[in-house]
A and B are shown apart, each in its own frame.
Chain A
Amino acid sequence: MQLQDFEKLFQQKIDTEIKVEPKDWMPDAYRKTLVRQISQHAHSEIVGMLPEGNWISRAPSLKRKAILIAKVQDEAGHGLYLYSACETLGTSREETINDLNSGKAKYSSIFNYPTLTWADMGAIGWLVDGAAILNQVMLCRTSYGPYARAMVRICKEESFHQRQGFDILLTLCKGTDAQKAMCQDAINRWWWPSLMMFGPKDSESTNTDQSMKWKIKRKTNDELRQQFVDMCAEQVKILNMTLPDEHLKWNAQTQHYDFGEIDWSEFWNVVKGNGPCNKERLEARRKAHEDGAWVREAAAAYAEKKTSKQQSQAA
């Protein structure tokens, strides 16, 4: 069979909604796109632990502390599933992590923003996890089997994360004036970066067309972004807060909310590494990895000693 025939069969499989599995033939570009996307996703979970981990020691009640610890721990778990999904495509966890630490691999820019107050834990849950869920729900039906299955598990936990975030904000907006102000301030700071999470506009997005054809993605960036705006514009009313966009307005004709223009220069700047915390986040990951080197070496050395002991006993 010629390469074109393989590609044709592959596309037929995609078109008939048959999942691609690790040992199946796939185009190199499909594999590469997936490795890039899944590893970015994994890194986002791992780097995403940092801004929220930042408030574990200062959580305002024991209950909130316990929930936050559990949440950040879930994210570590999500990172694990996703690194494993990457391994099914032939890329080892070590390679993937090295790409993060060297700055070669990207992760979601949202985690380059600082968490300044407790209300940020609420805003991240509601907005950031909310935006992530829309993307992830779509990915539960992605064409690559292991990725789709990891997403099903992740989505279940993410919806709990979003609820806990909203609950933090709901409690703040029923509280003292200082708490209400803290809540509005967090929404103001996290709203636009959350909209940026869906990526560049469809007209500027280089990967969208092919990813849609391969059914890695099933909705475009702009479609998902609109869905998110429509959802949040309603939910914010429950909080008695506002979204920081003077152009936000219901459009009866389109049956969607119109909204203002994203500051794309900020978007590209943060992507390029000039966000408020890009440097700190990467440093923290590198430091954890470097400080842990002796531990990993010791574990490997011990495991080896044990194996050779067992072998000599068996001999």
Chain B
Amino acid sequence: MNDPLIDYTLHLADNTLILAQRNSEWCAHGPVLEQDIAITNISLDILGQARNFYQYAAILLGDDATEDTLAFLRDNREFKNCLLVEQENGDWGKTILRQFIFSNYQYLLYEKLQHSKDEQLAAVAAKALKEVTYHLQWSSEWVIRLGDGTDESHQRMMNAIEELWPYVDELFINADYENELLADNIAVDVPSLKNKWIEKITSIFDEATLQIPQNVFAKTGGKQGVHTEKLGYILAEMQFMQRAYPNSVW
């Protein structure tokens, strides 16, 4: 059964869960204590968003679905997150850049989604928008600081841009389930967000003395469940307990 609303909700949930999982790898390993707390806090915020989306998807699915069956008992090909969020953390610069790319996108997305005809999705987006506003501000400041910091930090940011830019375009291509929900004003038309997204990137990059790369070949597929090899390892680790001890209450 392919219900576009369920697929869309899962897409929103998977994006946030996988990024939360990645960011939480920094916990106890950050470059300075305050920033360890900050990235962990962002992880916690977007994990909270993921839970809200999964809980809604579970209601839509009915039967025995719960937030946990959806997070822990689906396999690789069923996950609908963008490829960007499953990329490895790399150094602090790459993590910061990934967060900036994503928070900038998410801010524009939720700004529209809070007016969705679907009341549940609208409510989750409205609540999350405050958090995302902070994530965007925090990551913007770090992009500037690292881009315009030392020669080394500048070089590291250029490397991060080169590594992550192939995953940018996917954010702005509608999947089938998004297209199907456009007419009813449920999903956000993501291509329409791109201009504003670029504007923000340009202004922050200008201040950071960084450039947007041109003619980058886009890698896509995550939203349809065709991922990079990295996702399998994320799931293997994340789902270990539920797979090893099925049918248990935790």
Listed in ascending order, the chain A residues whose CB lies under 8 Å from chain B are 46, 49-50, 53, 56-66, 69-70, 72-73, 76-77, 79-80, 83, 118, 168, 171, 174-176, 178-179, 284, 287-288, 291-299, 301-302, 305
Residue from B29, B33, B92, B245 having most chain A Cβ neighbours under 10 A:
B33
Among the stretches B47-55, B180-188, B189-197, the one at the interface with A is B47-55
Q: Which residue of B lies closest to A168 (CB)?
A: B250
Contact between chains at B28 and A50 (CB < 8 Å): yes
B74 within 8 A of A: no
Indicate if the CB atoms of A66 and B27 lie closer than 8 Å: no
Shortest B99–chain A CB gap in Å is 14
Contact between B249 and A73, CB atoms less than 8 A apart: no
**Given that A56-B24, A176-B248 are contacting pairs, would A291 and B31 also be in contact in the complex, using a CB cutoff of 8 Å?**
yes
Complex: A301 Cα to B144 Cα, angstroms: 12
Contact between chains at A171 and B249 (CB < 8 Å): yes
From 44 to 69 in chain B, residues with beta carbon under 8 angstroms from any chain A beta carbon are 44, 47-48, 50-51, 54, 67-68
**Residue pair A77, B37 in contact (C-beta under 8 Å):** yes
B237 within 8 A of A: yes
Distance between Cα atoms of A69 and B43 in the complex (Å) = 8
Of B40, B71, B237, the contact of A62 (CB 8 Å cutoff): B71
Q: Which of B109-151 contact A (CB under 8 A)?
A: 144-146, 148-150
Contact yes or no, A295 B148, CB < 8 A: no
A118 touching B241 in the complex, CB below 8 Å, given contacts A57-B21, A176-B248, A302-B149:
yes
Leading 8 A-B pairs by shortest Cβ distance: A292-B31, A298-B149, A298-B153, A60-B241, A49-B28, A295-B31, A53-B28, A60-B250
Residues of A close to B146: CB separation below 8 A: 295, 298, 302
Q: Could you tell me the distance in whole angstroms from the C-beta of B45 to the nearest C-beta in chain A?
A: 10
Which among B148, B240, B247, B250 has the greatest number of chain A C-beta atoms within 10 A?
Answer: B250
A-side contacts of B37, CB under 8 Å: 73, 76-77, 80
On whether the beta carbons of B156 and A294 are closer than 8 Å, the reply is yes
CB distance from B17 to the nearest CB of A (A): 8
The contact of B50 among A49, A57, A62, A299, by CB within 8 Å, is A62
Q: Is the CB of A61 within 8 A of B148?
A: no
The docked-state distance in angstroms from the alpha carbon of A59 to that of B242 is 9
- Whether the pair B242, A80 counts as a contact (CB closer than 8 A) is no
B250 touches A302 (CB 8 A): no
Q: A57-B21, A66-B44 are in contact. Are A288 and B28 (CB under 8 A)?
A: yes
* Residues B245 and A53 in contact, CB atoms below 8 Å apart: no
Contacts of B149 in A (CB 8 A): 297-299, 301-302
Is the pair A56, B250 in contact by a Cβ cutoff of 8 Å?
no
Query: With A56-B27, A69-B43 given, can you name 11 additional A-B contacts, CB distance below 8 Å?
Result: A46-B28, A57-B21, A65-B47, A66-B47, A69-B47, A70-B44, A73-B44, A291-B91, A294-B156, A296-B32, A301-B150
Give the distance in Å from the alpha carbon of A60 to the alpha carbon of B66 in the complex: 13
Give the docked Cα–Cα distance between A62 and B29 (Å). 22
**B47–A73 touching, CB < 8 Å:** no
Query: Which residues of chain B are near A76, meaning CB under 8 Å?
Result: 28, 33, 36-37, 40
Which residues does B use to contact A, with CB under 8 Å?
17, 21, 24-25, 27-37, 40-41, 43-44, 47-48, 50-51, 54, 67-68, 71-72, 91-93, 144-146, 148-150, 152-153, 156, 237-238, 240-242, 245, 247-250
**B119 CB to closest chain A CB, in angstroms?**
23
Given A66-B47, A291-B91, A57 and B32 contact (CB-CB distance below 8 Å): no
Listed by A's residue number, 21 A-B pairs whose Cβ atoms lie within 8 Å are A46-B33, A56-B27, A58-B237, A61-B68, A64-B250, A72-B27, A73-B40, A76-B28, A76-B33, A76-B37, A77-B37, A174-B249, A288-B28, A292-B30, A294-B152, A295-B31, A295-B146, A295-B153, A296-B31, A299-B32, A301-B153
Nearest CB in chain B to that of A304: its residue: B149
Given contacts A62-B67, A66-B51, A298 and B150 within 8 Å (CB-CB): yes
Q: Is the CB of B27 within 8 A of A53?
A: yes
* CB-based nearest A residue for B40: A73
Interchain nearest-CB distance for B193 vs A (Å): 28
User: Which of B48, B153, B156: most chain A CB closer than 10 A?
Assistant: B153
Q: A50 — which chain B residues lie within 8 A by C-beta?
A: 28
Q: How far is the CA of A46 from the CA of B91 in the complex (A)?
A: 21
Give every chain B residue within 8 A of A118 (Cβ-Cβ).
Answer: 241, 250
- Report if A288-B51 is in contact (Cβ < 8 Å); known contacts: A57-B237, A60-B242, A295-B146: no
Shortest CB–CB separation between residue A83 and chain B, in angstroms? 8
